[in-house]
Chains A and B, each alone.
Chain A
């Protein structure tokens, strides 16, 4: 490994694990997923596909990395310690090598310097010796030099057999005259001396050194690293030649590799041990944490007696203690609540029993007296009749009260099985026939060709439907009552439509309030406990279903029960639109060729399934703001006109009366134009109409909704429906009666549109409520 990579490796791992361990993983994962894998390839589906394909096998690993803190810590520790060990190793090895080579170089240099001196001296000796001979023959001369050279090499290398070798090379390109390369031992003279060293030496007369690989001519001996020191000298003839000392570094090499091996072994041990230590240490911390997580999971699953084991006094123990304290408190509170609920249930049950037993006696006595009333004088006889009648009422009131309190105590249990709603409807209708005959109306059943099966509690569903049908007959003013069945999209619905007095704006929600009565003046004549619809609503909620009402003044009303086909599936819509297709608005739209809004309303939301019914604030709310619908000529049944049929007029009226309430007619047109199912409610919300509604409108999501609140009463198309219409469509809005003005009403709701979601239903329909209120104001003004 090069120095460079050695330096970078720890650096890299350092940046990676140098962060807090907990965040490092997520950060990297985010970077990887967000920046690298998604952000970078937006707009290129092919690339994204490839990346996804590449990513897939990595996913389990990434998940493990994200989820396992122990793994993260151990891996980080391993990487960090590996980096440290590598850095350390390279530093140590570098120093050892430098030390070894320095010593070698020093020794070699002194050796070589000595050798060069000897060679020079020998050459000088020959020169002085032969100088006496004068001119010897040239052939002899070269012969002599060859011999001299060989002798020189032999004598120089004789001192260090194995410790060094001696090589002579001709200087420059002059290889003639017997000055060919020579070497001691089996060293290959030319291959062992690097070219650049030869060049350097040829330039001057100083000694130079270099590292090289000593190559041997004879096989068997592998080339080995060595130090070469050379100098250019003159031979006895005065010709230059190069003398090299070659010092093999075998020993140093051995020492170095020994050090390297030792360091590597030690480093490996250190890394592995550090990893193991990290694993152990993290385990010490993680095990209690995991235990706590497990205990917390079991606690939340309802096993309240679960506790953590606490040992010692460290942080983990403190965590455990705190956790246990929390669990203890939780358990206490829960058992307190359970106890309260149990007591409440017990109380209801006891009251029920204690009241019922004497009531039974009274009831029987009253019946006996009633039977015998023929023998009494008229006053006593009438008294007996009243007694019996009122006992009936008392009884049903008691039964309803107990039923409601059972719901409130959460003691109502659902006994659901697949039932065919047609059977239930048949039973209910045949039960209501006598009453219908008395009232002079007929009950028609529509949509009972196919089975309408749902998982439901037959007893409760029958109670709901009986309530709806009897109500419809009682308020139907002798006109027909239509019971419609349908099943679609995982839901079944039964709608009960009557053509009686209908509901005034805002009443569609209030009908479900406890003890609420449509008309205080009529209240006592029609009987009923005032709890029927509240119980029906609770029954519907128990099924995860919806019970909603729609009505228009003088145009009758429709109550719709929607139940999920299977209990574990949430409702998303209803097969029957809440507003019947023969409502005056829909007929008006149809006549004008406008969009049939009614068909789209199939997905209008319902009340939140668990929201408690508002407590009965006032048993009977005097609705002074309302004038009787008959006083409004446009609201007469069968007139075919909308309450605010002419938008300009409607708007003017609204302006006149509600003071700046502005565009009462226009907005719903916008809602209609918006068209989409989900925008429907938005349109209605915007239909609140007042300028102030603007604040709420942008949130409603209907694309045209913001325009809807426009203060200018721009006359919309024929599809216009008035705020009054919206008001009538209100299903479950909060009662607005206590608020001061329309502006507040319209502004209060932050209407959400997603009408398909039941949970949002309440919110999303507060808008219409505002509209109702406003409409109410308009009414009052007229």
Chain B
């Protein structure tokens, strides 16, 4: 499938020093970085380079990161990792809601960054043919598709992973921490808001009525589970 481990990374950041440093680190890890410093040019650069992952600074001249994120997400499911200097709730949640898969708060350690990037690129290394059903959804794991009554539903890779993780063990209730580990690849407990936001996004796509979820059910005080299969 895709060249996992190594991949093209588009760095959208206006701080040239940081961008350069990111380039050094990414190259050192075997990625192919490309750079764009302006929010207005980000989309064009994205179309041109077709990266496997986007590193996106939230504060950009021109279009801001949130807007860029939304635009990229509108035409591609490519993983987006936000770089943010603000760990405040609102900023993070807005970023995640605009479509980012993950975020990393400045200042970060190079290793941490690389680990996050790898986690986002490491998906489905050897997709075994596998068919899952959850509610009235049919999930083709290898084909990376979700269908309801023959109609396919477009999900980002992260949302797909989240759904598959839940659907594989419909009898199990997943805590947010477990989901963070399985889907996002965090080894230590991190911000559970990631899970909340992405579950909401997933629901808005796969649920018939997102207000009354039947596919991804909240277990109050614990976490989430796949609805009755």
Contact = CB atoms under 8 A, between A and B. Distances in A.
Do these two chains really belong together in a complex?
A: yes
Interface of A: 349, 352-353, 356-365, 367-368, 395, 406, 411, 413, 415, 417-420, 427, 431, 453, 458-459, 462
A353 B28 contact: no
B25 A368 contact: yes
Q: Which 5 A-B pairs have the closest CB atoms?
A: A353-B85, A356-B106, A356-B85, A360-B107, A359-B107
Nearest to B191: A459
B171 interface: no
A411 B83 CA distance: 21
B107 A356 contact: yes
Contacts of A462: 189
Given A361-B21, A420-B221, 4 more contacts: A359-B106, A362-B107, A363-B108, A417-B221
Nearest to B57: A357
A679 to B, nearest CB: 40
Contacts, number: 70
A458 B192 contact: yes
B17 A368 contact: no
6 contacts: A353-B86, A358-B18, A359-B106, A360-B21, A411-B88, A418-B220
B5 interface: no
Interface of B: 15, 17-18, 21-22, 24-25, 28, 59, 83, 85-86, 88-89, 106-111, 188-189, 191-193, 220-221
B17 A358 contact: yes
Contacts of A431: 188
A407 to B, nearest CB: 12
Contacts of A418: 220-221
Contacts of B83: 360
Contact of B28 (A358, A368, A413): A368
A361 B86 contact: no
Contacts of A395: 107
Contacts of A357: 15, 18, 85, 106
A314 B105 CA distance: 63
B108 A360 contact: yes
A364 B85 contact: no
Contacts of B25: 364, 367-368
A360 B24 contact: no
B120 to A, nearest CB: 19
A363 B24 contact: no
Contact of B110 (A349, A364, A411, A413): A364
A349 B87 CA distance: 10
Contacts of A353: 59, 85-86, 106
Contact of A368 (B110, B189, B220, B221): B110
A511 B188 CA distance: 29
Contacts of B88: 349, 406, 411
A176 to B, nearest CB: 116
A183 to B, nearest CB: 103
A352 B86 contact: yes
Contacts of B110: 363-364, 367-368
Contacts of B106: 353, 356-357, 359-360
Contacts of A417: 221
A420 B111 CA distance: 32
A364 B89 contact: no
Nearest to B192: A458
B30 to A, nearest CB: 15
A530 B164 CA distance: 45
A417 B220 CA distance: 9
A436 B22 CA distance: 35
Contacts of B59: 353
Nearest to A406: B88
A413 B221 CA distance: 20
B192 A361 contact: no
B22 A364 contact: yes
A413 B90 CA distance: 10
B109 to A, nearest CB: 6
Interface centre among B15, B86, B111, B191, by most chain A C-beta atoms within 10 angstroms, is B86
Contact of B21 (A352, A356, A364, A415): A364
Contacts of A420: 221
Contacts of A360: 18, 21, 83, 106-108
A415 B89 contact: yes
B183 to A, nearest CB: 19
B15 A349 contact: no
Contact of B18 (A361, A406, A413, A419): A361
Contacts of A406: 88
Contacts of A459: 191-192
B189 A427 contact: yes
B204 to A, nearest CB: 21
A361 B106 CA distance: 9
B200 to A, nearest CB: 15
A278 B228 CA distance: 72
Contacts of A352: 85-86
Contacts of A427: 189
A387 to B, nearest CB: 13
Nearest to A431: B188
A395 B85 CA distance: 12
A95 B165 CA distance: 106
Interface centre among B15, B18, B24, B106, by most chain A C-beta atoms within 10 angstroms, is B106
A192 to B, nearest CB: 97
B170 to A, nearest CB: 24
Contacts of A415: 89, 193
Contacts of B111: 367
B95 to A, nearest CB: 14
A57 to B, nearest CB: 47
Interface centre among A360, A363, A364, A458, by most chain B C-beta atoms within 10 angstroms, is A360
A341 to B, nearest CB: 15
A155 to B, nearest CB: 113
A368 B24 contact: yes
Contacts of B22: 364
A133 to B, nearest CB: 133
A56 B17 CA distance: 79
Given A353-B59, A357-B15, A459-B191, A363 B85 contact: no
A365 B17 CA distance: 10
Nearest to A392: B109
Contacts of A358: 15, 17-18
A360 B57 CA distance: 12
Contacts of A413: 89
A352 B59 CA distance: 12
Nearest to B188: A431
Nearest to A355: B85
Given A349-B88, A427-B189, A459-B191, A367 B17 contact: no
Contacts of B108: 360, 363
B14 to A, nearest CB: 9
A420 B220 CA distance: 12
Contact of A367 (B86, B109, B220, B221): B109
B64 to A, nearest CB: 12
A363 B89 contact: no
A368 B23 CA distance: 12
Nearest to A459: B191
B84 to A, nearest CB: 9
A369 to B, nearest CB: 11
Nearest to B19: A361
A359 B107 CA distance: 6
